[in-house]
Chains A and B, each alone.
Chain A
Amino acid sequence: MNTFLRKNLLLIITLAVLAGFLAAAGRSMETSDFVITLLRGLSVGALTFLVASGFSLIFGLLDVLNLAHGTLFMIGAYVGWTVYVRPDTFVDLVTPLALLISGFVLADGWRHLAARVPTAGRWRGLAPWLGFAIAALLLVYILPRYPIAIWDVDDYAQSPVAYSLAASQGEVTPPPAATFTEIAPLVAVLGLFVSSALAAFSLALLRSTGQAGRALTWRSFVRITLVLLVGLGALIFNDALTAWLFALNTNWLFVVAVAVSVATGAALGGLMEVTLIRPLYVRPIYQLMLTLGLSVIGTELVRAIWGRPEFTMPKPELFAGTGEGCPATSFGDWLTYHCSTIILFDGRVRVYNEIFIPLVGLVVLISIWIVLKRSRLGMIIRAGVQDRQMVEALGINVRRVFTQVFALGVGLAALGGVLAAPSIGLSNTMGESFLLNALIALAIGGLTSYPGAALGSVLVGLLQQFMIKYGQIGIPIPFTEILFKPTPPIVPASTVLLMVIVLLIMPNGLLGKKE
């Protein structure tokens, strides 16, 4: 115990000083203000943590600084919003997406076929590109004609802003469904499947070395059957599914939105690692440029699809009550009336923003901790952070682990995004500020330390919120009459200042390991 104290003396003193500041901050404001500010800090901290933890997992194991992480956080929010406010658009998208994936699910089979094709010959080199071209042509023909009911960014009455407004007022009138008019359903379905299969086969041809790959297993068949079932099911039961989702209680719809958003994030992350990051492990600088470029592309895509104006995502019913019995005075009341606010220490606390989000953050913190400590994947991650080569030398497929970790990290960011949406709203810039927060939090907590990411995020969140609060009530400077009110630009600056101070005292961050 004594050695533990001595080893961590600096950390303990630093934390004690920070706790002292927090206590001092509490003394000069009312209890209700203090509690609310504390909870807000924890809320921002929780969202920051969701970005920071994924970022740090990816950086720790893969050595990739994923600068697109903030953008993926934002995409998570927009995807969640789409499922939540426009479930019809989501259902319409399931079929084409499933069909586009279907060809690639059969990759093992294509590899076998490709191995049978002679590797020499004049047409051999050209064939894959011909395949890609035909696949692309098919897509160019089908996709614009494929009916998807979607909002219209340029028409205010049909814009995401208008739909959000309607949804928040509880006016759930399903927009008119899109129907097959320009293209026959059979042609569209077959065309998409063929084009996906062709693209996947061409890819296999391109990569083929003439050696037979792994044997086809029954798993491939299960997978393709599942994908096709989902795709065709969504097509056949499109109307029923849409109607069901529109009629669904918003709490459950929110759960669906979160699940879809996390899954989309994970899929995007996995895809990004396999296609773009993987070829560049030997060129870290290029990787950095790539992720920076991807973040710009992602932001522009979001602007093109969802438009520039900011809009909000209505809170689920459980957190939206305002009528009788509100604001709730106890958690029992809140459970009965589902109030949006609750009275704690004489202050009105918003349940979703200031209680639900920190709770989810805590649950994620603990679940990921358990995954890291108890599962085989977690064991491999912890080992890989220290010595990737040795993990590989044990016969562990690190490539697959890399993809899984990238998917996990981006999935966490997407979760943060969709959780943040009902609280802070959706905007094209929401990703940047959280990425910046997360980077500062990681520098404070220790770049590759998982508990460090949590500690840093909470510190950043608390500091920001207390600064904002003191911007309103002012800090009396001792022995003077001056009331110092931090202006808004000081808020982000204060976190950077904290980072600088912490790094001066502990260059590896609070919980970082010495290299």
Chain B
Amino acid sequence: MTEYLLDVQDIHTFIGQYHILQGVNVRVPQGSITALLGRNGAGKTTTLKSILGLTPPRQGNVRFARQELRGLASFDIAALGIGFVPEHRAIFRDLTVEENLRIAERRKGDYARKQAFIFSLFPDLKRLIGLSGGALSGGQQQMLAIARALVPDNRLLLIDEPSEGLAPVIIEHMMAAIRQLAADATIVLVEQNFLVASQLAETYVIIEEGRSVQAGAMKDLVNDKATIHRYLGAA
């Protein structure tokens, strides 16, 4: 049996009275990029939030690096080494770019240590460092959101919709950055844009109406036009 860095087993999550996730399984091998695919409202974002405990699953198990996450608070889960890049970026508008990065420190000196790497990945951030987060454009905010997840030593990155609302040139830049990150970390990616997802990810999980319905290697899916059409609409 292969050892998975992240092993989500049959989780069920409720938001209020709504049974959003009704059995999702996601297995993420160490060092890979896994894409969660599916239509709008299928439960991809909720899956990410359930892993982090922001919407704790009522049933099922999440194991990260062999540790059971049930009952842990979100901040304890994140502190195990999970970085989160949420949908719509969630940049702190009242904090400067630098503070947005500094706040992610888990140990003193994290920011100082990672600074060079972050700026090599996103050179633009360097000149924006003193601006407030609210003054950035969408693409700049997306870079900052990813950079923020890189400040502490994270073993797993959960990235939600990195290409949403961005211009094609910037998407290219983002993809290059994510590819570079995959060398050190394991990534779970939620992506509506199948073209982007198929070029980045090695494995995929399709989520349909709160259930994971299919998983496998991305290179097999790319040629499986029927499946793509059935679950993801036009490809």
**Interface bin, chain B:** 20 to 34
A residues near B54, Cβ cutoff 8 Å: 389, 392-393
**B-contact 0/1 string along A374-389, CB 8 Å cutoff:** 0010011011011101
B residues near A397, Cβ cutoff 8 Å: 73, 75-76
**A-contact 0/1 string along B57-94, CB 8 Å cutoff:** 00000000000000101111011001010100010111
Known A392-B54, A394-B104: A383·B95 in contact at CB below 8 Å? yes
Interface contact A386-B94, CB-CB below 8 Å:
yes
Interface contact A386-B148, CB-CB below 8 Å:
no
- Other-chain residue from A382, A390, A396, A399 in contact with B86 (beta carbon distance below 8 A): A390
Task: Give complex CA distance A399, B72 in Å.
Answer: 13
Question: Is residue B125 within 8 Å, beta carbon to beta carbon, of the partner chain?
Answer: no
Task: Give complex CA distance A48, B37 in Å.
Answer: 54
B residues near A394, Cβ cutoff 8 Å: 75, 78, 84, 103-104, 148
B residues near A391, Cβ cutoff 8 Å: 103
Task: Give complex CA distance A386, B82 in Å.
Answer: 22
Known A383-B103, A390-B86: A396·B92 in contact at CB below 8 Å? no
Task: Give complex CA distance A376, B108 in Å.
Answer: 11
A residues near B82, Cβ cutoff 8 Å: 395
Question: Is residue A209 within 8 Å, beta carbon to beta carbon, of the partner chain?
Answer: yes
Task: Give complex CA distance A399, B73 in Å.
Answer: 10
- CB contacts under 8 Å to A, within B91-131, are 92-95, 99, 102-104, 106
Question: Is residue B152 within 8 Å, beta carbon to beta carbon, of the partner chain?
Answer: yes
Question: Is residue B200 within 8 Å, beta carbon to beta carbon, of the partner chain?
Answer: no
- CB contacts under 8 Å to B, within A127-144, are none
- Other-chain residue from A379, A385, A398, A399 in contact with B103 (beta carbon distance below 8 A): A379
From A376, A383, A397, A398, residue with most partner B Cβ within 10 Å: A383
Chain A residue at smallest Cβ distance from B90: A390
Interface contact A393-B92, CB-CB below 8 Å:
no
Question: Is residue B52 within 8 Å, beta carbon to beta carbon, of the partner chain?
Answer: yes
- Other-chain residue from A382, A392, A399 in contact with B92 (beta carbon distance below 8 A): A382
Chain A residue at smallest Cβ distance from B92: A383
- CB contacts under 8 Å to B, within A391-416, are 391-399
- CB contacts under 8 Å to B, within A346-400, are 376, 379-380, 382-383, 385-387, 389-399
A residues near B93, Cβ cutoff 8 Å: 386
**Which B residues fall within an 8 A CB radius of A?**
52, 54, 71, 73-76, 78-79, 82, 84, 86, 90, 92-95, 99, 102-104, 106, 148, 152
Besides A386-B92, A393-B52, 8 more A-B contacts (Cβ < 8 Å) are A379-B95, A382-B92, A383-B103, A387-B90, A390-B90, A393-B54, A394-B104, A396-B75
A–B pairs, 17, beta carbons within 8 Å: A376-B102, A376-B103, A379-B102, A380-B103, A385-B94, A389-B74, A390-B90, A392-B74, A393-B84, A394-B75, A394-B78, A394-B84, A394-B103, A394-B104, A395-B82, A397-B73, A399-B75
